[in-house]
Amino acid sequence: MRISDIIRSKGKAVVTVPPDTDVRGLLAVLAENRIGAVVVSSDGSTIGGIVSERDIVRALAARGAAVLSEPVSAIMTSEVQTCVRGAHVDELAAAMTEGRFRHMPVVSDDGQLDGIVSIGDVVKIRITELEVERDSLSSYIRAAAT
């Protein structure tokens, strides 16, 4: 299965925030959208960084509540690993596991933001694949038994 299959089923919408958004505002965006990470983008199509709940927790632990007034650019991950629609889901899962992150932006051929995939999306696709495989094997066994 390819990343394009995930994007096709979930859509291309990506929640972004500008780099000067304060962390308090970021928390509101995360809560409002019920998501765990946002792409930091000055124009909604280029990727300046990514910031997740984990980034917020680490910053709070290191600098205290004052971090809530800081811009997200102070806590975001600047070197963002991305993937393209044609990549295989297994490659994405391996990269997420190795890099210990749960969200990866999808980019178009010209490097523009084209979606985002979470580890939850990967798990959902994998469960669907396993269910189809199970059903096929069950049908095969029933047919062979008759």
Say yes or no to pLDDT of 145 above 90.
no
Two tokens at 141?
Answer: 């066994």
Can you tell me whether residue 39 is helix, strand or coil?
strand
CA distance 27 to 31: 6
As a whole number of angstroms, the distance between CA 99 and CA 137 comes to 34
Is-contact 49 40, C-beta < 8 A?
A: yes
pTM greater than 0.75 (yes/no): yes
- The residue that leads in pLDDT, 68 or 122, is 68
- Number of residues that make up the chain: 146
* pLDDT score of 101: 93
The mean pLDDT value for 86-106 works out to 93
CATH number attached to the domain at 3-145: 3.10.580.10
| pLDDT per residue as tens digits for the range 119-136 | 999 888 888 878 888 878
Burial class for 52, CB neighbours closer than 10 Å (0-12, 13-18, 19+): buried
- Please give the Cα distance from 92 to 98 (Å, whole number): 10
> Do 117 and 103 contact (CB within 8 A), yes or no?
yes
The per-residue pLDDT for 7 is 92
